[in-house]
Structure 1
């Protein structure tokens, strides 16, 4: 079995006047990322490895989660504003370990979550996939290369608003 955690970056700060790629988190986003990290630990959902977009807001989200040092983090430019097919391809090619966290952007991350699940959660927040939205799903596969659309069983879904 493999477990996948798909997380949209926390709330970013539009006031910096930087490029989209360099936009950091705002205070609410930093608080949300901390809450998500606490939730992952409390629920026993810590990943073995992380695939993360190179954008500042995804890197900052990932760093604030305060994952164990043993968790390998790979920053990938191709996850920046990636389409669902690119997200799935990167998982198939690069994911390692039993539990993988992927931190990326909407609309691709939301579409990838919906595409991979057998059945989506009956929550309005899932349809919106707001900043910090996190879907945890399980796959009955031995190798990430075998990841297929429609094969993920929903384990849980949350948004920062439910945690803070």
Structure 2
């Protein structure tokens, strides 16, 4: 059994129109969102063994703001190919994941992350799929499981979607609980 988490980077800033897209950092909303997702992942015991992360500033910053667990417990592979990667590139990278990793996370960008998540769906949580299909917001997370022994066995349509989590919903839960 393999677990895959597909996280779109948190909300980025457009404050400096002259800055290269790859170098754009998070805005305040993004800086607040990533720690919410990090807490959710820890509370649900979803801290990955391995993280594939785009080299874009906003993806790297998102990873850093998820929390300390993600920097120390998980191996991180920063890969320039993940910047604006297509579904094909994401799948190729997944296939190159070492077999010791059982729980893997990708931190990347739309439209690639969204298209990849849609392509992997082979069943599972239908309501989560519908929510994911409507909009894959910044810091949105798709949680998949695969009944395979090797990452290279994963194909489009082979994933079971467990859940799709939006930070906006996590923030609403926290606010209503206070």
Q: TM-score, normalised by structure 2?
A: 0.88
Alpha carbons of 1:158 and 1:10: their partners in 2 closer, same or farther (altered >3 Å)? Answer: same
The CA deviation at 1:125 is 4.6
Which residue in the other structure is 2:36 paired with? Answer: 35
Structure 1 outlier segments of 4+, above 6 Å: none
Tell me, yes or no, if the aligned pair for 2:7 and 2:105 is still in contact at 8 Å. Answer: yes
Instruction: Kindly tell me the number of residue pairs found equivalent between the two proteins.
Output: 164
Worse-superposed segment, 145-154 or 105-114? 145-154
Q: Is 2:10 aligned against 1:10?
A: yes
**Gapped runs of 5+ residues in structure 2?**
172-178
Show CA shifts across 1:6-59 (max 9, x none): 000000011033110000001110111000000000111110010000000000
C-alpha separation between the residues in 2 aligned to 1:124 and 1:117? 13
Which residue in the other structure is 2:105 paired with? Answer: 101
Q: Which has the larger radius of gyration?
A: 2
Report the 3-state secondary structure (helix = DSSP H, G, I; strand = E; otherwise coil) of the residue aligned with 2:148.
Answer: coil
Report the 3-state secondary structure (helix = DSSP H, G, I; strand = E; otherwise coil) of the residue aligned with 1:15.
Answer: coil
**Gapped runs of 5+ residues in structure 1?**
none
Alpha carbons of 1:141 and 1:127: their partners in 2 closer, same or farther (altered >3 Å)? Answer: same
Q: 1:153 aligns with which of 130, 151, 160?
A: 160
Q: CA RMSD in A?
A: 1.3
C-alpha separation between the residues in 1 aligned to 2:98 and 2:83? 17
Report the 3-state secondary structure (helix = DSSP H, G, I; strand = E; otherwise coil) of the residue aligned with 2:40.
Answer: helix
Report the 3-state secondary structure (helix = DSSP H, G, I; strand = E; otherwise coil) of the residue aligned with 2:138.
Answer: coil
Report the 3-state secondary structure (helix = DSSP H, G, I; strand = E; otherwise coil) of the residue aligned with 1:16.
Answer: coil
The CA deviation at 1:124 is 3.5
Alpha carbons of 1:118 and 1:39: their partners in 2 closer, same or farther (altered >3 Å)? Answer: same
